[in-house]
Chains A and B, each alone.
Chain A
Amino acid sequence: DAGVIQSPRHEVTEMGQEVTLRCKPISGHDYLFWYRQTMMRGLELLIYFNNNVPIDDSGMPEDRFSAKMPNASFSTLKIQPSEPRDSAVYFCASSFGREPQHFGDGTRLSIL
């Protein structure tokens, strides 16, 4: 079975540019989570969706960050405008109900 698929795997862009990260969850999963991982702050939950509806976005750091889930098989995390401090690895994960989460391999984002 295909796991959670994230794209791109790596993104390098200049400060001020818009960045869009993409995620395809496992088919049939009704929860989707976005995380950010840095050495300093560890793994932080940014936002999660249930049946395509955002449930908790309290972890979204600033208004520059936005996330959407237009349908059950696709979600995006957008940063506009991007800043060097946004550099991190961004993970998407999905789950069925309260079952354990399945993670993608992440997008390594570098903002110059």
Chain B
Amino acid sequence: SQQGEEDPQALSIQEGENATMNCSYKTSINNLQWYRQNSGRGLVHLILIRSNEREKHSGRLRVTLDTSKKSSSLLITASRAADTASYFCATGRRTGNQFYFGTGTSLTVIP
């Protein structure tokens, strides 16, 4: 499969806690992106990290990338009920413009 894999498949936390999701992939990449999907909606882009970057921040989001381990993590700090959604990583190859999405982590934030 060309897809990456997210871990865990499902995560349930209390509002205010931090949520960490991991993504593993198989091939060399140009960049890695994280997307969010609310129930019944399309995916929304959150953050992009390039293969030569190790860490990136955007608001309450922190993404790390370890190309030697072919893995990435997404940290959401001070979670809110509105963060309840599925989160996907997507890997972009060095050639072409297609992205391959992982299997997703379903996050539930309990108010």
| Chain A residues near B (Cβ < 8 Å) | 4, 31, 33, 35, 42-43, 45, 48, 50, 55-56, 91, 93, 95, 97-98, 100-106
Contacts and interface: CB of A to CB of B under 8 A. Distances in A.
A101 to B, nearest CB: 7
Please provide the 9 A-B residue pairs with the shortest distance between their CB atoms, ordered closest to farther. Answer: A103-B42, A100-B45, A43-B101, A103-B43, A42-B103, A105-B42, A104-B42, A105-B41, A45-B98
Interface of B: 3, 30, 33, 40-45, 48, 88, 92, 96-104
Contacts of A4: 42
A5 to B, nearest CB: 11
B40 A105 contact: yes
A31 B99 CA distance: 12
Contacts of B101: 35, 42-43, 45
A101 B45 CA distance: 7
Contacts of A97: 97
22 contacts: A35-B101, A42-B102, A42-B103, A43-B104, A45-B99, A45-B100, A45-B101, A55-B96, A55-B97, A56-B96, A91-B42, A91-B43, A93-B43, A97-B97, A98-B30, A98-B92, A100-B45, A101-B43, A103-B42, A103-B43, A103-B44, A105-B41
A43 B101 CA distance: 6
A103 B35 CA distance: 10
A31 B85 CA distance: 26
A102 B40 contact: no
Nearest to A108: B40
B82 to A, nearest CB: 18
A97 B31 CA distance: 14
A88 to B, nearest CB: 14
A15 B29 CA distance: 40
A48 B41 contact: no
